[in-house]
Structure 1
């Protein structure tokens, strides 16, 4: 029996794709807003993080 057959037998399973899409959209919008509102200094610091050898792990 395939996995899809198990999911078809669960009542109300159709809400999960909608909830996951809604959660993804909310997180995506929040990340875009954070990126748009970040100052230039913060962006420059994040750009140099992979190359910065001063800060250790």
Structure 2
């Protein structure tokens, strides 16, 4: 039996897919906004942390 047949048996599988896609999009939209609004100097400091031993 193929995987798609298992998905067809799940009730509201279309709703679950829509919710998952929404969470995925929302997370990356928030992260993109944070990156563009973040203090560039602070990001450079954070980026140097692994190298400053």
For 1:31 and 1:23, locate their aligned partners in 2 and report how far apart those are by CA, in whole Å: 12
Unpaired segments of 5 or more residues in structure 1? Answer: none
Tell me the residue number matched to 1:9.
9
Specify the structure having the higher radius of gyration (Cα): 1
SS at match of 1:48: helix
Structure 2: which 5+ runs fail to align? Answer: none
Higher mean Cα deviation, 19-28 or 35-44?
35-44
Please state how far the C-alpha of 1:6 moved relative to its aligned partner. 2.2
Aligned partners of 1:21, 1:27: CA distance in 2, in Å?
10
More helix by share: 2
What SS does the aligned partner of 2:13 have?
coil
TM-score w.r.t. length of structure 2: 0.78
How far apart, in 2, do the equivalents of 1:45 and 1:36 lie? 16
Q: CA RMSD in A?
A: 1.4
